[in-house]
Structure formats: C-alpha cells, structure tokens
Chain A
Amino acid sequence: MKNLFVMSPSELIKQPLFVAFVLIVILLAVGEILSPGFTSLDQIIRLATVAALLGIVAAGQNLVILGGREGIDLSVGAVVSLSVIVAGNLMDGMNINIPLAFVLTIVTGAFFGFLNGVGVTLLRIPPLVMTLGMLGVIQGLLVVIRQGVPSGVAAPALADFVSEPFVFGLPGILWLWVGIGCFMAWLLRQTLFGLRIYAIGSNEQAAVMAGVPVRTVRIAVYTLSGVFAALAGICLLGYSGASFANVGSQYMLTSIIAVVFGGTSLAGGKGEYTGTMLGAILLVILQSILTTVNIDEFGRQIIFGGTLLVLMVFYGRGKGLRA
C-alpha cells in the first residue's frame, strides 16, 4: 500500500483507513455540538474503553473473515455472554480466584471456537449455519446454567483493571487493546500463520498446492475467535461489575460492522486489524451519539444493520463474495 501522505484526494477517499479516520473526527465534532462535553478526556476514555471491548471481539471476527470461504462467526456474542457468566461465577468477587477463572473462561471460549472450526472444515457446514447453530446452543446453555437467576460478581482487581487509571492515567484495558493491536499486526505480518490466513482467504486452491494445511489453519482461526470473545467477556465482566442476561449479544452484529468498516473484505484475504480498531472506535462513537439523542436500543439496531448494508454497497464492489 502506498503511503497515505503521498496520495491524491481521489485515491485517499478509496482508503478505508482514511475514511474511517475522517469519519471519527466528524462524529466527535457532531457529538460535541449535540452534547457539550462529549469530547472531554473522561468521556473519550470511557468511549475508548467501550471500543476496546468491541475491538477485542472484532479481532477474532477479523481473523475468521480474513480466512475466507465465506468465513464469519455469528457465535461471538453468545460466547461473550457465556464468558461473563463463567468468569463471574468462578471469581465470585474474590481477587484470588482471578487466575483460575481467567484460564477456565479462555478455555471455554477456545472450546466453542474449536467446535466451530471443526464444523466448518471437517463436517463442511457453511460458516453462517455452523456459527448460527452454535449461537443457539450457547444461548440454550446460558438459560440452563443461570436458571433465570443472575449470578456472578467481578473481582475488585478486574473491575479496577478495566475502569480505573492504570498507567499514564489510562485504564489497563486500553493497554491490553494496544497490546492486542501489536499482537495482531505481528501475527498477520510476521508469522507464517498470518501469511497462511491471507493465503487461504485469497486462493484456497493455490494454498493447498503450496502445502498450506488449510483445515488446521481454519480451525485455529475459529478457535482464536472463541478465545478473543472469551477475553472480551472477562473484560466486560470487569466493566459492568456483575453479569447480566445476554450482555454479549450486541457484539454479533457490531463486530462484523467494525471489521467491514476497517476495510476487510467479506470475501476474505484482504484487510488488516488496524482498520478494524478504527472501525470499532467509529462504531462506539456513533452508538454514543445515538444514545445522546435518545434513540433507543431498537433504533440503534436498525441503524447498525443499515450501516452494514450501506458499507457492503461501497466496499462490496469488485470481487463477489462467492467468486
């Protein structure tokens, strides 16, 4: 890719990263006009925290979509909800329980992600159907586990990590997100695994002929998606302090929008996590503005769904999804 600084305006407008960045600035300005104080430091940090939660889920979604063959993970939201409850119950408000709760929650997420991967590769179930089925399974499990009674409390240290200033006045979750951003860049650019994700997403047949273990890579990608969703679930527990019903369900749609906003092609093989991070920030600002102007949850859903469809019109040109 050419350096953003040497591009002409007509080229710039085709760069998703640039478009996302401009939109973020515009939306912040709109927010400030509608509700003075929207761009205060506290408020920005709060927005960034919410964006980090979404960004962590979207990291997994990003990998799955990059892997191609119509890859998509509709179960991320359900895994987040499940992780909040698993982590909350295991911690039970005690700092000492954090390590065990952390490990077991991550393992749970990895397990469901692994099942998705196996279903998509070995059983040849289309990703849309496989992960939608998994979403149903996990939601059913949630009802069974909870018996309708909310339970699970975050450990104080976790809540502090997510909400209280950690280093340079920023909460730990933001540093975690920056770390994940670096990790994703390293994974996708510097490791063979990353190149293989792009290779199978771009031309699976050629990848097979070049010795890429396509199924293994794809299973790993879905497993990572489960891991990222579980990690986001733990952080979300810290953010809200206790578990609530289906707290994660919104992430199904928003994680996909963040990825597409960031310039990743739904056909696979093209895109980077940096764009997804900007996409997550953009989406969270939009969400906040909609709340400010008193549009309720249903209205937001309509707007988000519409946004995704509009994005598909702009970015979906060229290579067809099934090409």
Chain B
Amino acid sequence: MSKLILTNVSKSYGPTRAFKNGDFALEAGEVHALMGTNGSGKSTLCKIIAGSVKPDTGTVTLDGKQVNINSPQDARALGIGIFYQELSLATNRSIAENILISQVPLQFGLFVNRAALRKRADQYIDLVRDVAGEGFHADAVVANLRSDQRQLVEILKALATEAGILIFDEPTSALDRVQVKRFFEILEKLKGEGRAMIMISHRMDEIFEISDRLTVICDGAIVATRKREETSPKDIVELMVGGRSTLADDDGPQLRTSSIKEDKPLLSVKGMRGAGFQNISFTLKGGEILGLGGLHGQGQSAVLRALFGAAPIHSGELYLKEEIYRAGHQRRAIRKGLAYVSGDRVRDGVIHGRPIQENTVPIHAFRQYLFLTSFGDLSPKLEGALAKLSTKFEALTSSIDSLSGGNQQKVVIARWLIDKPEVLFLDDPTKGIDLAAKADLFALIRELAEEGLGIILYSSEDAELLNNSDRILVFNGGSITRELAGDERTRFNLYDAAYEVAS
C-alpha cells in the first residue's frame, strides 16, 4: 500500500504556478527519483512534503489518513526527514552533536548526556566509518572536515531522524564512488525496513542504479511515473523535453547564426580548477555567444565568478587575446576589459538607496580614472548607455529603488556599456525580471556580439540558452561534459547532457 499520497496538489507564487496537477504516490520500501530540469518544480514538491511550503490546493494522505503538514515541525512529527542540499551544519560543533542535533540525549531533562550522545552517534558513524577517510569520529569538529565528509554528516543527520520517509536532495554531489556505493547499501537496507525515500540527483547512472520508480516533472506538472525496469535514460530525457520545441517562442528569433568574424581566440581557458569546478577548458572568439548549460549549480556560475576574479582559481592557464591573463581580482579584470553581470542584482549589482546616475557611473569612473564626478557633463553618456537597453526611468537623480527589478538590472548592465568591454560574462542575468526586459536584454546581447564582443551566457532558462548561443557547454558536477553546436542545440541534447553520467 502507498505510504504517502499527494492528490491534486498545486502551489502558485503570484501569477506563476510553481506546481500544478500534483498527483504523486510514494510506496513503502522504495527509492523514488524525481527528474526534471531547472525550475521544473522538483524542489517545490519536496518542500511541500517537508512542510516548508504550504500548497494552495490538494490533499496529502499518509498511511491512509489525511494529514496537514503546515510546518517542518509537523513533517518531523509525522516521520518525514529531509537531507538539505545547502549544507546546514553547525560548523564549530562536533560530528556527534550535528548528527543528533534535534534529539540530543538528556539527563534529568536538562543536561546533555555526553556518553549517551557519543554512543548513539557512533551507531550512525559506524555505517560509513571505513569509507569516510581520516579524522571522521564522533568528537571531530565539522569545520575541519572535507566537503565529502560534511556531506556524509548531512546524510547521517537525516538518517538519525529515523523517519519513515526521507527526502534526499542531491545527496551524492560531493561523495566519491566508494562512498556513493556505501550510501546506496544503506538505502537498500532502509528499503528492507519498509522506509520510503525520495531522491533528486543529476547523475543519471546513480538514479538508474538505486531508484525503483522515477517521476518526471516538467513545467511544474507531473508528466509520468515509470518503473525503473520499464524505462531507459533516453525515455526519461524525452519525457523531460515533452512536446516542447527547441525555441521558447516560435515567433521569436530563430536559432542563432554565428556572428564570429575573426578566428583568433579572445579568451581561452586551459585546465582551470577552483572551488566548485575542475578541468575547465574552452575558447571564446570575438562575436561569439557561448552558452553554459546544465542543471543549476553545476559550476557554471563559479567558473564565471572565478574568471572575473571574484573567486580564486587553483590551477590552469588563461589567455586573453593570446596573452597570459592572471585572474584573481575584479579590478584587474575590469581594466583588462572583462565585464560581469550577476543574476543576483540585489547582492552583486544594485547600490541601494543611491540615485540611478551613481549606479550607472562606477565602471566608467574606474576605467577612466575619474576623480570628479560632475554629472552635468556625464549625463549624456549615462543616458546613452541606459537608452541602449530602453531603460525606463524618471530622472538620473531618482533613486534606483524606485525602478522595477527589470529596470534595475538594466541600469546594472548599462554600467558596462559606456566604455565597451571585450568580454561579457552573464551569470543568469534574467533571473526574476519581466519578459519585456528579457527581450530588450537579449536584443542588446546579440547586437553586442555583432560588434565583436565575446559573450559567455549562463542561464537557468534553457530556452534562453538555446535561442541565443552559438555553442553550449553543458556542465555536470563542476566539469564540462558535452559541447553542443549547430543543429545539436536541441532541448533533448541539452537535457541528455545535463543528466549525463558524471565521469
């Protein structure tokens, strides 16, 4: 009998429907994989089950009884445990305390029973002790652990809830092969105990190794649920593509034809390694729009930030216009003609509470070594840059906070247009901005490429990538796993590559 059943569950954020048509069943004693591209609704579904998102409609039944999950506490009380992808450990505390953080054994209901704590923690630690490597014991402080060891602690923490239903969101991203094998052995044992697991992963091979059933989610709707024996990776990818064409908008621009004029590389990267990516090699030519694709958080953003000098590069060679380029500092990058636009404009872009003119001028002022900023003389330049994106604003002296999100992002981009850069890095630049602003932005990007700029575009919206890139590098687990060019730029190939076996 089914353990957890969601019937007709939906969730909207304003006009956007994050999840609809949610009929989902989780059986006792199975590992159930959720498959879908960026923004398809996998996370929303997990959050609904874990109680951190409340659905607008629908019912949830657990073991035949209807339940209300209104908070993470409710979920825990009902026996639902979750593994968090974003590490949620108390880094200055021991492994034992982290594993048992929600059920610390107490004496007299008040004092921590250290001996019992260690003993209980050891039961879980023993599950992975021989594969965890050095220094993995109950008293070890989490801050001193490697990333794979921290992920093991997260897994043990989820196991220690002894919940009947466990949700694992990318639990193996930092683990090595042996550790993954052990983790799967543990899951097999839990299956035998009749517990149910939901798993999200970007490694198709692992999904086919461990899961009993797979559910494909596409645009917030559950498309199909298949038994593992009755399906194949190709089948799953086709389900994810659904009936959608390669282009997001059939009336919109067609697949891009390249505007590369010169054959000399503008930027070339060889064997670059850093936090969150490794073995990155590619070249970018003037006039080219190079897309970075794949599931969210596979190192695309980390590579762009590292190239711009916002994060360290551990090894590798970089050449800018065939000269050696040492990344490592934003100011050097800007002087060399690199530009970076972050999708997180609130954190990385907008200078809040200041006028539009002050938000437009900084790159120009920096590159021209300005000392005085007499906006009377500068305003034609600023207005010219803002007009290229048809930015709507009242006056240059109005506060940037008076603009809509799309217009704020336009101001941040306009910064880079007064003195033209050579290479433009776009790190998911359209996140959370309206459709009209997106259209303006991509029109500009194509125009800049015509003018000879080299552009690297990472987008979590696959249609944007497919419509605007000359080539697409697909990322998986911090590496480039496939390059799509010409007619290969299809949704099928993109999803197939995104879920490709990590080598």
In the docked arrangement, what's the CA distance between A211 and B309, Å? Answer: 11
Asked if A208 is at the interface of the complex by the 8 Å CB criterion, the answer is: yes
- B353→A205 contact, CB < 8 A: no
The one of B310, B352, B353, B358 in contact with A209, judged by C-beta atoms closer than 8 angstroms, is B310
Min CB–CB distance B306 → chain A (angstroms): 13
Q: Which of B34-42, B254-262, B363-371 contacts A (4 or more CB under 8 A)?
A: B363-371
In the docked arrangement, what's the CA distance between A191 and B362, Å? Answer: 12
Asked if B374 is at the interface of the complex by the 8 Å CB criterion, the answer is: yes
Interface string of B330-352 (1 = CB under 8 A from A): 11001000001010000111111
The one of A205, A210, A269 in contact with B362, judged by C-beta atoms closer than 8 angstroms, is A210
- B330→A199 contact, CB < 8 A: no
- B310→A195 contact, CB < 8 A: no
CB contacts (< 8 Å) of B352 on chain A: these are 202-203, 269
- A199→B363 contact, CB < 8 A: no
In the docked arrangement, what's the CA distance between A233 and B400, Å? Answer: 40
Q: A210-B363, A212-B362 are in contact. Are A205 and B370 (CB under 8 A)?
A: no
Q: A210-B415, A211-B331 are in contact. Are A205 and B348 (CB under 8 A)?
A: yes
Asked if B279 is at the interface of the complex by the 8 Å CB criterion, the answer is: no
Asked if B373 is at the interface of the complex by the 8 Å CB criterion, the answer is: yes
- B371→A191 contact, CB < 8 A: yes
- A209→B365 contact, CB < 8 A: no
Min CB–CB distance A218 → chain B (angstroms): 15
Min CB–CB distance B383 → chain A (angstroms): 18
Interface string of A189-215 (1 = CB under 8 A from B): 011110110110011011111111100
Asked if A270 is at the interface of the complex by the 8 Å CB criterion, the answer is: yes
- B358→A198 contact, CB < 8 A: yes
Min CB–CB distance A203 → chain B (angstroms): 5
In the docked arrangement, what's the CA distance between A153 and B438, Å? Answer: 69
Main secondary structure of the interface of A (DSSP, over half): helix
CB contacts (< 8 Å) of B371 on chain A: these are 191-193
CB contacts (< 8 Å) of B334 on chain A: these are 211
- B361→A211 contact, CB < 8 A: no
| Smallest Cβ-Cβ distance to A198: which chain B residue | B354
Chain A stretch 205-242: residues in CB contact (< 8 A) with chain B: 205-213
Min CB–CB distance A214 → chain B (angstroms): 10
CB contacts (< 8 Å) of A195 on chain B: these are 354, 358, 361-362, 365, 373
CB contacts (< 8 Å) of B363 on chain A: these are 210-211
The one of B310, B354, B374 in contact with A199, judged by C-beta atoms closer than 8 angstroms, is B354
Greatest chain A CB density within 10 A among B340, B348, B350 is at B348
The size of the chain B interface, using a CB distance under 8 A, is 28
- B340→A209 contact, CB < 8 A: yes
The size of the chain A interface, using a CB distance under 8 A, is 21
Asked if B436 is at the interface of the complex by the 8 Å CB criterion, the answer is: no
Q: A199-B358, A206-B348, A209-B342 are in contact. Are A192 and B372 (CB under 8 A)?
A: yes
CB contacts (< 8 Å) of A208 on chain B: these are 310, 330
- B331→A202 contact, CB < 8 A: no
Interface string of A120-133 (1 = CB under 8 A from B): 00000000000000
- A211→B362 contact, CB < 8 A: yes
Min CB–CB distance A296 → chain B (angstroms): 41
In the docked arrangement, what's the CA distance between A205 and B308, Å? Answer: 14
| Smallest Cβ-Cβ distance to A269: which chain B residue | B353
CB contacts (< 8 Å) of B367 on chain A: these are 211
- A211→B372 contact, CB < 8 A: no
Min CB–CB distance A315 → chain B (angstroms): 14
| Smallest Cβ-Cβ distance to B305: which chain A residue | A209
Min CB–CB distance A245 → chain B (angstroms): 42
Min CB–CB distance B369 → chain A (angstroms): 9
CB contacts (< 8 Å) of B308 on chain A: these are 209
In the docked arrangement, what's the CA distance between A205 and B352, Å? Answer: 12
Greatest chain A CB density within 10 A among B310, B362, B363 is at B362
In the docked arrangement, what's the CA distance between A269 and B351, Å? Answer: 9
| Smallest Cβ-Cβ distance to B416: which chain A residue | A210
In the docked arrangement, what's the CA distance between A208 and B334, Å? Answer: 11
Q: A203-B351, A207-B351, A212-B366 are in contact. Are A191 and B330 (CB under 8 A)?
A: no
- A192→B373 contact, CB < 8 A: yes
Min CB–CB distance B92 → chain A (angstroms): 18
- A269→B354 contact, CB < 8 A: yes
CB contacts (< 8 Å) of B310 on chain A: these are 208-209
Q: A191-B372, A209-B340 are in contact. Are A198 and B331 (CB under 8 A)?
A: no
Q: A211-B362, A212-B366 are in contact. Are A206 and B351 (CB under 8 A)?
A: yes
CB contacts (< 8 Å) of B365 on chain A: these are 192, 195
Greatest chain B CB density within 10 A among A205, A209, A269, A270 is at A209
* B→A interface (CB under 8 Å): 308, 310, 330-331, 334, 340, 342, 347-354, 358, 361-363, 365-367, 370-374, 415
- What are 30 A-to-B residue pairs whose CB atoms are below 8 Å? A190-B372, A190-B374, A191-B372, A192-B370, A192-B371, A192-B373, A193-B371, A195-B361, A195-B365, A195-B373, A198-B351, A198-B354, A199-B358, A202-B351, A202-B353, A203-B347, A205-B347, A207-B362, A208-B310, A209-B308, A209-B310, A209-B348, A210-B351, A210-B363, A210-B415, A211-B330, A211-B334, A213-B331, A269-B354, A270-B353
Given A192-B373, A211-B367, A213-B331, 9 more contacts at CB 8 Å? A191-B371, A191-B373, A195-B365, A199-B351, A202-B351, A207-B362, A209-B342, A210-B362, A210-B366
Which A-B residue pairs are the 9 nearest by beta carbons? A211-B366, A210-B362, A211-B334, A202-B351, A199-B351, A211-B331, A192-B365, A209-B348, A203-B351
* A→B interface (CB under 8 Å): 190-193, 195-196, 198-199, 202-203, 205-213, 269-270
